[in-house]
Structure 1
Amino acid sequence: MSSGAQRLVLKIARAATTESNLTWATVGRLPWLSSASHARFLASYPAHVVLNMPSLSPTMTQGNITKWRKQPGEQVAPGQILAEVETDKATIEWEAQEEGFMAKHLVPEGTQDIAVGTPVAVLAEEAGDVAGLASFSPGASSPATPVAAASQPATSELPKSTHLPPHQVLNMPALSPTMSQGNIVEWKKKVGDPVAPGDVYCEVETDKATISWESQEEGFVARILLPDGAKDIEVGRPALVLVDDKETVPFFASFTASDAASGEQTPPAPAAATATAAKAEVPPASAVSVQRPPETGETNVAAPAAASTGRLRASPYARKLAAELGVALEALSGTGSVGRIVADDVRGATGSAAAIPPVAAPAAVSSATPQADTAAAYVDLPHNQIRRVVARRLLESKQTVPHYYLTMECRVEEIQQLRERLNALNSAGQKGGKGGAVAPKLSVNDFVVKAAAKALKEVPGVNASWFPDFIRQYNNVDISIAVQTPSGLQVPIVRNADLKSLGAISSEIRALAGKAKEGKLLPGDYAGGTFTVSNLGMYGIKQFAAIVNPPQAAILAVGAMTPTIARVDGVFKEVPTILATLSCDHRVIDGAMGAEWLVAFKAQIENPLLLFA
Structure 2
Amino acid sequence: MATPIQMPSLSPTMTEGKIVKWLKKVGDKVTSGEALAELETDKSNLEIEAYDDGTLAEIVVGENQSAPVGSPIAYLTPKGGKAAAAPTPAAAPKPVEAAAPKPPAPAAQATSAASAPVASGGRRVRASPLAKKIAKDRGLDIAQVQGSGPSGRVVKRDIEEALARGVKAPAAAPSAPVARKAPTAATVARPEARSEPLSSMRKVIAQRMTEVKPGVPHFYLTLEVEMDAAVKVREEAKAMELKVSVNDLIVKAVAMAVRRYPKINVSLQGDQVVHHGSVDVGIAVALEQGLITPVIRDADTKGLQAISTEVRELAERARKRALKPEEYTGGSITVSNLGMYGIDQFVAIINPPQASILAVGAVADKVVARDGQMVIRKMMTATLSCDHRIIDGAIGAEFLRELRGLLEHPTRLLF
Q: 1:571 Cα shift?
A: 5.1
CA distance in 1, matches of 2:218, 2:87: 56
CA separation of 1:134 and 1:91: change in aligned 2, threshold 3 A: closer
390, 415, 419: which one pairs with 2:230? 415
Counterpart position of 1:480: 282
Counterpart position of 2:58: 104
46, 54, 62: which one pairs with 1:92? 46
2:201 maps to amino acid = I
Q: 1:381 Cα shift?
A: 2.4
Counterpart position of 2:206: 391
TM-score (normalised: structure 1): 0.50
584, 587, 602: which one pairs with 2:386? 584
Where 1:122 maps in the other structure, the secondary structure is: strand
1:289-322 superposed Cα distances (whole Å, 9 cap, x missing partner) = xxx9xxxxxxxxxxxxxxxxxxxxxxxxxxxxxx
Does structure 2 retain, via aligned residues, the 8 Å contact 1:465–1:473?
yes
Q: 1:380 Cα shift?
A: 1.1
Counterpart position of 2:121: none
Is 2:122 aligned against 1:122?
no
305, 320, 334: which one pairs with 1:503? 305
2:12 maps to amino acid = P
Where 1:550 maps in the other structure, the secondary structure is: coil
Higher relative contact order (CA 8 A, sep 6+): 2
Q: 1:540 Cα shift?
A: 0.2
CA distance in 2, matches of 1:127, 1:67: 26
CA separation of 1:511 and 1:600: change in aligned 2, threshold 3 A: same
1:166-186 superposed Cα distances (whole Å, 9 cap, x missing partner) = xxxxxxxxxxxxxxxxxxxxx
Identical-pair percentage = 44
554, 561, 566: which one pairs with 2:363? 561
1:516-559 superposed Cα distances (whole Å, 9 cap, x missing partner) = 11111111111211211000000000000000111111100000
Where 2:65 maps in the other structure, the secondary structure is: coil
2:78 maps to amino acid = E
Does structure 2 retain, via aligned residues, the 8 Å contact 1:101–1:126?
yes
Listed as ranges, the matches of 1:530-545 within 5 Å are 530-545=332-347
Counterpart position of 1:379: 194
CA separation of 1:133 and 1:119: change in aligned 2, threshold 3 A: farther
CA distance in 1, matches of 2:327, 2:87: 39
Where 2:353 maps in the other structure, the secondary structure is: coil
CA distance in 1, matches of 2:385, 2:331: 16
Where 2:58 maps in the other structure, the secondary structure is: strand
Does structure 2 retain, via aligned residues, the 8 Å contact 1:73–1:127?
no
Counterpart position of 1:551: 353
CA separation of 1:379 and 1:612: change in aligned 2, threshold 3 A: same
1:531 maps to amino acid = I
Counterpart position of 2:168: none
CA separation of 1:481 and 1:582: change in aligned 2, threshold 3 A: same
Is 2:14 aligned against 1:60?
yes
1:73 maps to amino acid = G
Listed as ranges, the matches of 1:336-375 within 5 Å are none
TM-score (normalised: structure 2): 0.73
Aligned residues: 322
CA distance in 1, matches of 2:268, 2:4: 41
CA distance in 2, matches of 1:445, 1:104: 50
Counterpart position of 1:519: 321
1:18-44 superposed Cα distances (whole Å, 9 cap, x missing partner) = xxxxxxxxxxxxxxxxxxxxxxx3xxx
Q: 1:609 Cα shift?
A: 0.3
CA separation of 1:467 and 1:524: change in aligned 2, threshold 3 A: closer
2:289 maps to amino acid = S
CA separation of 1:136 and 1:522: change in aligned 2, threshold 3 A: closer
Listed as ranges, the matches of 1:259-298 within 5 Å are none
CA distance in 2, matches of 1:532, 1:135: 46
CA separation of 1:127 and 1:135: change in aligned 2, threshold 3 A: farther
1:78 maps to amino acid = S
Q: Which has the higher mean CA deviation after the structures are superposed, 51-60 or 482-491? A: 51-60
Counterpart position of 2:406: 604
CA distance in 2, matches of 1:128, 1:470: 51
Where 1:520 maps in the other structure, the secondary structure is: coil
Where 1:577 maps in the other structure, the secondary structure is: strand
CA separation of 1:97 and 1:552: change in aligned 2, threshold 3 A: same
Does structure 1 retain, via aligned residues, the 8 Å contact 2:330–2:354?
no
Does structure 2 retain, via aligned residues, the 8 Å contact 1:555–1:582?
yes
1:455 maps to amino acid = A
2:75 maps to amino acid = V
1:450 maps to amino acid = K
Q: 1:124 Cα shift?
A: 2.3
Q: 1:476 Cα shift?
A: 0.6
Consecutive unaligned residues in structure 1, runs of 5 or more: 1-40, 42-47, 139-226, 230-287, 293-372, 428-438
1:408 maps to amino acid = L
Q: 1:128 Cα shift?
A: 6.4
395, 408, 412: which one pairs with 1:593? 395
Where 1:57 maps in the other structure, the secondary structure is: coil
Cα-Cα RMSD = 2.3
Consecutive unaligned residues in structure 2, runs of 5 or more: 103-188
Is 2:255 aligned against 1:453?
yes
Q: 1:468 Cα shift?
A: 3.9
1:447 maps to amino acid = L
Larger Rg: 1
